[in-house]
Chain A
Amino acid sequence: MYRSSPVPDDSSAGRDTNWVLHRPSAAATMAPCLKIARGWLMPEPSPQQPPTDTSDLILAVAGQDRAAFAELFKRFAPRIKTMLMRGGLDAARAEEIAQEALLTIWRKAGKFDPAGASASAWIYTIARNLRIDAARRDQRRSRLLEAVGREPLDTEISAIDSVSSAETGSRVRNAMRTLSLEQFQVVTLSFLEGKAHPDIAESLGLPLGTVKSRLRLAMTHLRKSLEDLA
Protein backbone atom coordinates (compact mmCIF):
# COMPACT_ATOMS: atom_id res chain seq x y z
CA MET A 1 0.00 0.00 0.00
CA TYR A 2 1.15 3.45 -0.78
CA ARG A 3 0.89 4.67 2.73
CA SER A 4 2.70 2.92 5.51
CA SER A 5 -0.15 3.64 7.81
CA PRO A 6 -0.11 2.49 11.44
CA VAL A 7 -3.59 1.08 10.83
CA PRO A 8 -3.21 -2.53 9.78
CA ASP A 9 -4.88 -3.77 6.64
CA ASP A 10 -8.29 -4.84 7.73
CA SER A 11 -9.93 -7.39 5.53
CA SER A 12 -12.86 -7.67 7.92
CA ALA A 13 -14.22 -4.27 6.90
CA GLY A 14 -17.30 -5.99 5.50
CA ARG A 15 -18.14 -7.59 8.79
CA ASP A 16 -17.74 -4.26 10.51
CA THR A 17 -20.37 -2.77 8.30
CA ASN A 18 -22.88 -5.44 9.15
CA TRP A 19 -22.08 -5.11 12.75
CA VAL A 20 -22.86 -1.42 12.67
CA LEU A 21 -26.02 -2.00 10.72
CA HIS A 22 -27.39 -4.60 13.09
CA ARG A 23 -26.37 -3.01 16.32
CA PRO A 24 -26.85 0.67 15.86
CA SER A 25 -25.95 1.61 19.39
CA ALA A 26 -23.73 4.59 19.97
CA ALA A 27 -20.86 2.33 20.99
CA ALA A 28 -21.12 0.20 17.88
CA THR A 29 -21.21 3.18 15.59
CA MET A 30 -18.32 4.74 17.38
CA ALA A 31 -16.11 1.68 16.92
CA PRO A 32 -15.16 1.99 13.25
CA CYS A 33 -14.84 5.68 13.81
CA LEU A 34 -12.32 5.10 16.56
CA LYS A 35 -10.41 2.88 14.19
CA ILE A 36 -10.11 5.74 11.77
CA ALA A 37 -9.44 8.22 14.52
CA ARG A 38 -6.46 6.15 15.56
CA GLY A 39 -5.06 6.59 12.09
CA TRP A 40 -5.51 10.31 12.40
CA LEU A 41 -4.36 10.86 15.90
CA MET A 42 -1.20 8.81 15.82
CA PRO A 43 1.88 10.57 14.57
CA GLU A 44 2.42 9.98 10.90
CA PRO A 45 5.39 7.84 9.97
CA SER A 46 7.99 10.28 8.82
CA PRO A 47 9.27 10.90 6.33
CA GLN A 48 6.25 9.70 4.42
CA GLN A 49 7.33 8.40 1.07
CA PRO A 50 4.50 7.44 -1.19
CA PRO A 51 5.98 5.91 -4.33
CA THR A 52 4.17 8.36 -6.60
CA ASP A 53 1.95 11.27 -5.80
CA THR A 54 -1.71 10.52 -6.51
CA SER A 55 -2.13 13.60 -8.66
CA ASP A 56 0.83 12.52 -10.82
CA LEU A 57 -0.90 9.19 -11.29
CA ILE A 58 -4.07 10.90 -12.45
CA LEU A 59 -2.10 13.02 -14.90
CA ALA A 60 -0.45 9.87 -16.24
CA VAL A 61 -3.87 8.23 -16.55
CA ALA A 62 -4.98 11.24 -18.60
CA GLY A 63 -2.19 10.23 -20.98
CA GLN A 64 -3.66 6.69 -21.18
CA ASP A 65 -1.03 5.14 -18.91
CA ARG A 66 -2.43 1.75 -17.93
CA ALA A 67 0.21 1.06 -15.28
CA ALA A 68 -0.67 4.33 -13.56
CA PHE A 69 -4.34 3.31 -13.73
CA ALA A 70 -3.52 -0.03 -12.11
CA GLU A 71 -1.72 1.77 -9.28
CA LEU A 72 -4.62 4.19 -8.77
CA PHE A 73 -6.99 1.24 -8.78
CA LYS A 74 -5.00 -0.52 -6.07
CA ARG A 75 -4.96 2.59 -3.92
CA PHE A 76 -8.53 3.71 -4.26
CA ALA A 77 -10.87 0.92 -5.38
CA PRO A 78 -10.57 -0.92 -2.03
CA ARG A 79 -11.09 2.31 -0.07
CA ILE A 80 -14.06 3.40 -2.14
CA LYS A 81 -15.51 -0.05 -1.58
CA THR A 82 -15.07 0.43 2.16
CA MET A 83 -16.71 3.82 2.01
CA LEU A 84 -19.72 2.44 0.14
CA MET A 85 -20.07 -0.59 2.39
CA ARG A 86 -20.00 1.62 5.43
CA GLY A 87 -22.80 3.52 3.78
CA GLY A 88 -24.86 0.35 3.81
CA LEU A 89 -24.28 -1.22 0.39
CA ASP A 90 -23.55 -4.92 0.21
CA ALA A 91 -20.07 -6.04 -0.84
CA ALA A 92 -20.99 -6.91 -4.42
CA ARG A 93 -22.78 -3.64 -5.09
CA ALA A 94 -20.05 -1.64 -3.37
CA GLU A 95 -17.41 -3.28 -5.52
CA GLU A 96 -19.42 -2.71 -8.67
CA ILE A 97 -19.64 1.00 -7.91
CA ALA A 98 -15.98 1.16 -6.87
CA GLN A 99 -15.16 -0.30 -10.32
CA GLU A 100 -17.40 2.29 -11.91
CA ALA A 101 -15.62 5.01 -9.94
CA LEU A 102 -12.22 3.95 -11.23
CA LEU A 103 -13.50 3.74 -14.79
CA THR A 104 -14.93 7.24 -14.36
CA ILE A 105 -11.51 8.38 -13.18
CA TRP A 106 -10.03 6.90 -16.35
CA ARG A 107 -12.51 8.80 -18.50
CA LYS A 108 -12.33 12.08 -16.62
CA ALA A 109 -8.63 12.17 -15.83
CA GLY A 110 -8.14 14.77 -18.54
CA LYS A 111 -10.36 17.15 -16.58
CA PHE A 112 -8.31 16.88 -13.41
CA ASP A 113 -6.53 20.12 -12.63
CA PRO A 114 -3.56 19.57 -10.31
CA ALA A 115 -3.67 23.24 -9.32
CA GLY A 116 -7.22 22.77 -8.05
CA ALA A 117 -8.70 20.35 -5.58
CA SER A 118 -6.32 17.71 -4.24
CA ALA A 119 -6.33 14.33 -5.97
CA SER A 120 -8.08 12.59 -3.10
CA ALA A 121 -10.79 15.27 -2.89
CA TRP A 122 -11.35 14.92 -6.64
CA ILE A 123 -11.67 11.15 -6.32
CA TYR A 124 -13.92 11.55 -3.31
CA THR A 125 -16.38 13.67 -5.31
CA ILE A 126 -16.46 11.06 -8.09
CA ALA A 127 -17.24 8.28 -5.62
CA ARG A 128 -19.76 10.46 -3.86
CA ASN A 129 -21.58 11.27 -7.11
CA LEU A 130 -21.81 7.61 -7.98
CA ARG A 131 -23.19 6.89 -4.55
CA ILE A 132 -25.84 9.60 -5.01
CA ASP A 133 -26.67 8.20 -8.43
CA ALA A 134 -26.99 4.66 -7.14
CA ALA A 135 -29.28 5.77 -4.33
CA ARG A 136 -31.43 7.77 -6.71
CA ARG A 137 -31.62 4.95 -9.21
CA ASP A 138 -33.00 2.74 -6.48
CA GLN A 139 -35.42 5.43 -5.42
CA ARG A 140 -36.57 6.09 -8.94
CA ARG A 141 -37.36 2.63 -10.05
CA SER A 142 -40.97 3.27 -9.23
CA ARG A 143 -41.01 6.72 -10.71
CA LEU A 144 -42.08 7.86 -14.13
CA LEU A 145 -39.18 10.21 -14.59
CA GLU A 146 -36.22 8.08 -15.49
CA ALA A 147 -33.37 10.15 -16.78
CA VAL A 148 -31.04 7.74 -18.48
CA GLY A 149 -27.33 8.33 -18.50
CA ARG A 150 -27.38 11.88 -17.33
CA GLU A 151 -24.59 13.34 -15.28
CA PRO A 152 -25.36 13.95 -11.63
CA LEU A 153 -25.93 17.57 -10.85
CA ASP A 154 -22.71 18.93 -9.56
CA THR A 155 -21.69 22.50 -9.75
CA GLU A 156 -18.07 22.75 -10.75
CA ILE A 157 -16.39 23.66 -7.55
CA SER A 158 -13.68 26.21 -7.99
CA ALA A 159 -10.10 25.41 -7.28
CA ILE A 160 -8.41 26.08 -4.03
CA ASP A 161 -5.62 27.85 -5.77
CA SER A 162 -3.59 29.44 -3.04
CA VAL A 163 -2.08 26.19 -1.80
CA SER A 164 -0.72 23.18 -3.62
CA SER A 165 -2.88 20.08 -3.36
CA ALA A 166 -0.33 17.95 -1.55
CA GLU A 167 -0.03 20.66 1.06
CA THR A 168 -3.81 20.95 1.21
CA GLY A 169 -4.12 17.26 2.03
CA SER A 170 -1.77 17.35 4.97
CA ARG A 171 -3.25 20.58 6.26
CA VAL A 172 -6.73 19.08 6.15
CA ARG A 173 -5.50 16.02 8.05
CA ASN A 174 -3.95 18.26 10.67
CA ALA A 175 -7.11 20.31 10.95
CA MET A 176 -9.14 17.13 11.46
CA ARG A 177 -6.98 16.37 14.50
CA THR A 178 -8.29 19.51 16.18
CA LEU A 179 -11.80 18.04 16.26
CA SER A 180 -13.16 16.40 19.36
CA LEU A 181 -13.94 12.72 18.99
CA GLU A 182 -17.65 13.53 19.00
CA GLN A 183 -17.23 16.04 16.21
CA PHE A 184 -14.96 13.70 14.29
CA GLN A 185 -17.57 11.00 14.58
CA VAL A 186 -20.41 12.99 13.02
CA VAL A 187 -18.14 14.29 10.26
CA THR A 188 -17.05 10.73 9.45
CA LEU A 189 -20.59 9.42 9.46
CA SER A 190 -21.59 12.16 7.07
CA PHE A 191 -18.69 12.03 4.61
CA LEU A 192 -17.62 8.43 4.65
CA GLU A 193 -20.81 6.60 5.40
CA GLY A 194 -22.98 9.06 3.56
CA LYS A 195 -25.58 9.09 6.28
CA ALA A 196 -28.16 11.87 6.21
CA HIS A 197 -28.22 13.91 9.39
CA PRO A 198 -31.51 12.50 10.69
CA ASP A 199 -30.06 8.99 10.20
CA ILE A 200 -26.94 9.96 12.11
CA ALA A 201 -29.13 11.22 14.93
CA GLU A 202 -31.07 7.98 14.96
CA SER A 203 -28.06 5.70 14.90
CA LEU A 204 -26.37 7.61 17.71
CA GLY A 205 -29.56 7.98 19.69
CA LEU A 206 -29.15 11.75 19.75
CA PRO A 207 -31.56 14.56 18.98
CA LEU A 208 -31.12 15.94 15.46
CA GLY A 209 -30.30 19.33 16.93
CA THR A 210 -27.31 17.86 18.76
CA VAL A 211 -25.97 16.29 15.57
CA LYS A 212 -26.34 19.58 13.75
CA SER A 213 -24.65 21.57 16.46
CA ARG A 214 -21.74 19.11 16.53
CA LEU A 215 -21.36 19.50 12.79
CA ARG A 216 -21.45 23.27 13.09
CA LEU A 217 -18.83 23.16 15.85
CA ALA A 218 -16.68 20.93 13.67
CA MET A 219 -16.98 23.51 10.90
CA THR A 220 -15.91 26.27 13.25
CA HIS A 221 -12.73 24.33 14.04
CA LEU A 222 -12.05 23.45 10.43
CA ARG A 223 -12.58 27.04 9.34
CA LYS A 224 -10.15 28.25 11.95
CA SER A 225 -7.37 25.99 10.67
CA LEU A 226 -8.23 26.21 7.00
CA GLU A 227 -9.37 29.79 6.85
CA ASP A 228 -7.72 30.51 3.52
CA LEU A 229 -9.36 27.47 1.97
CA ALA A 230 -12.89 28.39 2.96
Chain B
Amino acid sequence: MTQTHHPLDDTLIAFASGTLDEARHFVIAAHLHSCAKCRQTVAMLHEVGGALLESANPAELSVGALDRALAKIEPQVKDNQQRSAGVSDTATSLDETLLQDLLSAPGKGPWNWVAPGVHVRSLLRPAGKGARVFLLKAAPGLGLPNHTHTGTELTLVLQGAFSHAAGRFSPGDLDDADETDEHTPLVEPGQSCICLVAMDGQLKLRGLLGLVMQPFVRI
Protein backbone atom coordinates (compact mmCIF):
# COMPACT_ATOMS: atom_id res chain seq x y z
CA MET B 1 0.00 0.00 0.00
CA THR B 2 1.43 3.36 -0.96
CA GLN B 3 0.30 6.32 1.04
CA THR B 4 -0.05 9.83 -0.23
CA HIS B 5 -0.61 11.57 3.11
CA HIS B 6 2.02 11.35 5.83
CA PRO B 7 2.72 12.84 9.26
CA LEU B 8 4.32 16.28 9.24
CA ASP B 9 8.06 16.28 9.83
CA ASP B 10 7.79 17.80 13.28
CA THR B 11 5.37 15.04 14.24
CA LEU B 12 7.86 12.39 13.08
CA ILE B 13 10.61 14.12 15.06
CA ALA B 14 8.45 14.04 18.17
CA PHE B 15 7.68 10.37 17.55
CA ALA B 16 11.32 9.42 17.05
CA SER B 17 12.44 11.31 20.13
CA GLY B 18 9.64 9.83 22.20
CA THR B 19 7.99 13.12 23.06
CA LEU B 20 4.58 12.55 21.56
CA ASP B 21 1.84 11.77 24.03
CA GLU B 22 0.68 8.18 24.19
CA ALA B 23 -2.35 8.79 21.98
CA ARG B 24 -0.47 10.33 19.08
CA HIS B 25 2.41 7.92 19.50
CA PHE B 26 -0.02 5.06 18.98
CA VAL B 27 -1.56 6.54 15.84
CA ILE B 28 1.84 7.29 14.29
CA ALA B 29 3.00 3.75 15.10
CA ALA B 30 -0.07 2.48 13.29
CA HIS B 31 0.81 4.58 10.23
CA LEU B 32 4.38 3.26 10.26
CA HIS B 33 3.09 -0.28 10.02
CA SER B 34 2.07 0.33 6.45
CA CYS B 35 4.40 3.17 5.44
CA ALA B 36 7.95 2.21 4.47
CA LYS B 37 8.82 5.80 3.64
CA CYS B 38 8.09 7.09 7.14
CA ARG B 39 9.79 4.06 8.70
CA GLN B 40 12.94 5.07 6.86
CA THR B 41 12.61 8.66 8.03
CA VAL B 42 12.20 7.50 11.62
CA ALA B 43 15.26 5.25 11.24
CA MET B 44 17.23 8.29 10.10
CA LEU B 45 15.98 10.26 13.09
CA HIS B 46 17.04 7.48 15.46
CA GLU B 47 20.52 7.89 14.00
CA VAL B 48 20.32 11.57 14.91
CA GLY B 49 19.35 10.60 18.46
CA GLY B 50 22.22 8.10 18.62
CA ALA B 51 24.74 10.64 17.42
CA LEU B 52 23.52 13.16 20.00
CA LEU B 53 23.68 10.55 22.75
CA GLU B 54 27.25 9.67 21.82
CA SER B 55 28.24 13.32 21.95
CA ALA B 56 26.62 13.99 25.33
CA ASN B 57 28.93 14.78 28.22
CA PRO B 58 29.10 11.77 30.52
CA ALA B 59 27.51 12.31 33.92
CA GLU B 60 29.21 10.97 36.99
CA LEU B 61 27.78 7.69 38.20
CA SER B 62 27.46 6.75 41.84
CA VAL B 63 30.17 4.61 43.39
CA GLY B 64 29.84 0.93 42.51
CA ALA B 65 27.33 1.50 39.68
CA LEU B 66 29.08 -0.86 37.30
CA ASP B 67 29.47 -3.56 39.95
CA ARG B 68 25.79 -3.40 40.74
CA ALA B 69 24.96 -3.82 37.06
CA LEU B 70 27.37 -6.71 36.69
CA ALA B 71 25.81 -8.40 39.71
CA LYS B 72 22.43 -8.24 38.05
CA ILE B 73 23.09 -9.38 34.54
CA GLU B 74 23.12 -13.14 34.92
CA PRO B 75 19.92 -13.62 36.90
CA GLN B 76 18.20 -11.27 34.46
CA VAL B 77 19.06 -13.43 31.48
CA LYS B 78 17.55 -16.50 33.13
CA ASP B 79 14.59 -14.48 34.21
CA ASN B 80 14.04 -13.29 30.69
CA GLN B 81 14.08 -16.80 29.27
CA GLN B 82 11.48 -17.92 31.76
CA ARG B 83 9.20 -15.04 31.09
CA SER B 84 9.35 -14.99 27.34
CA ALA B 85 6.56 -17.54 26.96
CA GLY B 86 3.60 -15.62 28.31
CA VAL B 87 4.65 -12.02 28.17
CA SER B 88 2.54 -10.90 25.22
CA ASP B 89 -0.95 -11.29 26.62
CA THR B 90 -0.65 -8.90 29.54
CA ALA B 91 -1.81 -6.13 27.27
CA THR B 92 -4.60 -4.01 28.63
CA SER B 93 -3.91 -0.70 27.00
CA LEU B 94 -2.46 0.81 23.86
CA ASP B 95 0.13 -1.66 22.72
CA GLU B 96 1.33 -3.76 19.86
CA THR B 97 -1.31 -6.47 20.38
CA LEU B 98 -4.16 -4.01 20.20
CA LEU B 99 -2.58 -2.37 17.18
CA GLN B 100 -2.38 -5.68 15.33
CA ASP B 101 -6.03 -6.35 16.13
CA LEU B 102 -7.12 -2.98 14.85
CA LEU B 103 -5.12 -3.26 11.65
CA SER B 104 -6.34 -6.77 10.85
CA ALA B 105 -10.00 -6.27 11.78
CA PRO B 106 -10.85 -2.58 12.10
CA GLY B 107 -14.60 -3.21 11.95
CA LYS B 108 -14.69 -5.33 15.07
CA GLY B 109 -16.51 -3.44 17.80
CA PRO B 110 -17.84 -2.81 20.30
CA TRP B 111 -19.24 0.32 18.69
CA ASN B 112 -21.15 3.07 20.38
CA TRP B 113 -23.67 5.05 18.38
CA VAL B 114 -23.03 8.77 18.68
CA ALA B 115 -24.96 10.30 15.80
CA PRO B 116 -26.78 9.16 12.66
CA GLY B 117 -24.22 7.28 10.59
CA VAL B 118 -21.46 7.69 13.15
CA HIS B 119 -20.14 5.13 15.65
CA VAL B 120 -17.23 5.34 18.01
CA ARG B 121 -15.11 2.82 19.86
CA SER B 122 -13.11 4.39 22.64
CA LEU B 123 -9.61 2.99 23.15
CA LEU B 124 -8.00 5.38 25.58
CA ARG B 125 -9.51 8.10 27.71
CA PRO B 126 -6.93 9.63 29.99
CA ALA B 127 -8.40 10.68 33.30
CA GLY B 128 -6.55 13.96 33.43
CA LYS B 129 -5.26 15.99 30.58
CA GLY B 130 -3.98 14.32 27.48
CA ALA B 131 -5.27 13.20 24.14
CA ARG B 132 -7.76 10.40 23.75
CA VAL B 133 -7.70 7.65 21.17
CA PHE B 134 -10.76 6.22 19.50
CA LEU B 135 -11.96 4.51 16.37
CA LEU B 136 -14.52 6.38 14.38
CA LYS B 137 -16.81 4.70 11.88
CA ALA B 138 -18.69 6.91 9.47
CA ALA B 139 -21.34 5.63 7.05
CA PRO B 140 -20.68 5.66 3.30
CA GLY B 141 -21.51 8.98 1.65
CA LEU B 142 -21.73 10.84 4.93
CA GLY B 143 -20.85 14.51 4.79
CA LEU B 144 -19.26 15.81 7.94
CA PRO B 145 -19.67 19.27 9.40
CA ASN B 146 -17.25 21.91 8.32
CA HIS B 147 -14.56 22.22 10.95
CA THR B 148 -11.22 23.73 11.68
CA HIS B 149 -8.41 21.88 13.36
CA THR B 150 -7.00 22.93 16.67
CA GLY B 151 -3.66 21.44 15.70
CA THR B 152 -4.19 18.57 18.08
CA GLU B 153 -5.60 15.85 15.94
CA LEU B 154 -4.22 12.90 14.01
CA THR B 155 -6.50 10.78 11.84
CA LEU B 156 -5.39 7.52 10.25
CA VAL B 157 -7.65 5.78 7.76
CA LEU B 158 -7.97 2.03 8.40
CA GLN B 159 -10.80 1.23 6.03
CA GLY B 160 -12.76 3.04 3.32
CA ALA B 161 -11.88 6.58 2.33
CA PHE B 162 -12.79 10.21 2.78
CA SER B 163 -11.89 13.39 0.95
CA HIS B 164 -11.55 17.02 1.81
CA ALA B 165 -9.78 20.05 0.41
CA ALA B 166 -6.34 18.52 1.12
CA GLY B 167 -7.09 15.45 -0.97
CA ARG B 168 -8.29 11.88 -0.76
CA PHE B 169 -7.45 9.79 2.29
CA SER B 170 -7.48 6.03 1.92
CA PRO B 171 -6.16 3.21 4.16
CA GLY B 172 -2.74 4.02 5.59
CA ASP B 173 -3.09 7.74 4.89
CA LEU B 174 -2.64 10.01 7.86
CA ASP B 175 -4.27 13.39 8.21
CA ASP B 176 -1.89 15.46 10.33
CA ALA B 177 -3.87 18.63 10.15
CA ASP B 178 -2.46 21.99 10.95
CA GLU B 179 -4.36 24.50 13.01
CA THR B 180 -4.82 26.66 9.95
CA ASP B 181 -6.57 23.97 7.90
CA GLU B 182 -10.28 24.10 7.37
CA HIS B 183 -11.98 21.01 6.13
CA THR B 184 -15.31 19.59 5.10
CA PRO B 185 -14.68 15.84 4.94
CA LEU B 186 -16.90 13.67 2.76
CA VAL B 187 -16.96 9.90 3.20
CA GLU B 188 -16.84 8.00 -0.09
CA PRO B 189 -19.82 5.88 -1.06
CA GLY B 190 -19.64 2.08 -0.93
CA GLN B 191 -17.95 1.27 2.36
CA SER B 192 -17.96 2.66 5.88
CA CYS B 193 -14.89 4.69 6.64
CA ILE B 194 -13.07 3.66 9.80
CA CYS B 195 -10.42 5.95 11.21
CA LEU B 196 -8.09 5.77 14.17
CA VAL B 197 -8.07 9.18 15.78
CA ALA B 198 -5.92 10.81 18.45
CA MET B 199 -7.30 14.06 19.68
CA ASP B 200 -7.39 16.37 22.63
CA GLY B 201 -10.65 16.13 24.47
CA GLN B 202 -9.98 19.04 26.75
CA LEU B 203 -11.15 21.96 24.74
CA LYS B 204 -14.28 22.51 22.80
CA LEU B 205 -14.14 19.75 20.25
CA ARG B 206 -13.68 21.10 16.83
CA GLY B 207 -11.62 18.25 15.44
CA LEU B 208 -12.81 15.68 12.98
CA LEU B 209 -16.59 15.65 13.14
CA GLY B 210 -16.73 18.71 15.37
CA LEU B 211 -20.37 18.93 16.14
CA VAL B 212 -20.95 15.21 15.92
CA MET B 213 -18.28 14.52 18.50
CA GLN B 214 -19.97 16.58 21.20
CA PRO B 215 -22.25 13.74 22.32
CA PHE B 216 -19.21 11.47 22.51
CA VAL B 217 -17.59 13.79 24.98
CA ARG B 218 -20.49 13.27 27.31
CA ILE B 219 -20.31 9.50 27.09
A residues sitting closer than 8 Å to B (CB atoms) are 1, 3, 5, 7, 9-11, 13-14, 35-36, 39-40, 64, 66, 69-70, 73-74, 76-83, 85-86, 91, 94-95, 98-99, 102-103, 106-107, 117-125, 127-129, 131-132, 136, 139, 142-151, 153-155, 157-160, 168-169, 172-173, 176, 187-188, 190-192, 194-197, 211-212, 215-216, 218-220, 222-223, 226, 229-230
Q: List 27 A-B contacts (CB under 8 A).
A: A1-B58, A7-B57, A76-B53, A78-B59, A82-B58, A86-B56, A95-B61, A99-B68, A103-B72, A103-B73, A122-B46, A124-B50, A125-B49, A142-B127, A147-B93, A158-B39, A173-B51, A187-B13, A188-B52, A191-B16, A196-B19, A196-B21, A219-B9, A219-B10, A226-B44, A229-B44, A230-B41
Q: Counting chain B CB atoms within 10 Å of each CB, which of A120, A176, A187 scores highest?
A: A120
| Surface stretch bound by A, among B22-30, B181-189, B208-216 | B22-30
Given A127-B53, A215-B10: A176 in contact with B25 (beta carbons within 8 A): no
A14 CA to B40 CA in the complex, in Å?
Answer: 34
Q: Which residues of B contact A155 (CB under 8 A)?
A: 29, 32-33, 39
6 pairs of A and B residues whose beta carbons are closest in the complex: A78-B58, A120-B50, A121-B50, A124-B49, A219-B9, A81-B59
C-alpha gap A76/B17 in the complex (Å): 18
Q: Are A160 and B9 in contact (CB under 8 A)?
A: no
Is B87's CB under 8 angstroms from A153's CB?
no
Contact status A176-B51, CB under 8 Å: yes
Contacts of B40 in A (CB 8 A): 158, 160, 229-230
CA distance A83 to B42 in the complex (A): 20
**A115 to B33 CA separation, bound complex (whole angstroms):** 21
Q: How many residues of B contact A (CB 8 A)?
A: 66
Nearest-CB residue, chain B, relative to A116 = B43
- Of residues B39, B41, B45, B57, which shows the largest number of chain A Cβ atoms within 10 Å of its Cβ? B57
- Would you call A153 and B60 a contact (CB within 8 A)? no
In contact, B96 and A151 (Cβ under 8 angstroms): yes
CA distance A34 to B8 in the complex (A): 27
Find chain A residues with CB under 8 A from B49 CB.
121, 124-125, 128, 191-192
Contacts known (A64-B77, A79-B58); A222 close to B44, Cβ less than 8 A: yes
B36 within 8 A of A: yes
Binding site for A on B (CB under 8 A): 8-10, 12-14, 16-22, 25-26, 29, 32-33, 36, 39-62, 65-66, 68-70, 72-73, 76-77, 80, 87, 90-96, 99, 126-128, 130
- Can you name the residue of chain B whose Cβ is closest to the Cβ of A127? B53
Which among A5, A94, A191 has the highest number of chain B CB atoms within 10 Å? A191
A65 shortest CB reach to chain B, Å: 11
Could you say which residues of chain B place their CB within 8 Å of the CB of A35? 57
Partner of A160 from the list B32, B43, B93, B99 (CB cut-off 8 Å) is B43
Question: Are A95 and B70 in contact, with the CB atoms below 8 A?
Answer: no
Q: How far is the CA of A154 from the CA of B33 in the complex (A)?
A: 10
Determine the residue in chain B with the shortest Cβ distance to A157: B43
Given A106-B73, A123-B53, A147-B91, also A117-B47 (CB < 8 A): yes
Q: Which residues of B contact A125 (CB under 8 A)?
A: 46, 49
Q: With A82-B59, A95-B61, A118-B50 in contact, do A77 and B69 touch (Cβ < 8 Å)?
A: yes
B59 CB contact (under 8 Å) in A94, A124, A144? A94
User: How far does the alpha carbon of A72 sit from the alpha carbon of B54 in the complex, in Å?
Assistant: 12
Contact of A191 among B52, B93, B126 (CB under 8 A): B52
Instruction: With both chains docked as a complex, state the minimum distance between the C-beta of A70 and any C-beta of chain B, in angstroms.
Output: 6
**Provided the pairs A149-B87, A150-B90, A150-B95 are in contact, do residues A230 and B44 lie with their beta carbons within 8 angstroms?**
yes
Distance in Å: Cβ of A123 to nearest Cβ of chain B: 7
* Candidates A76, A86, A215; contact of B13 at CB < 8 Å: A215
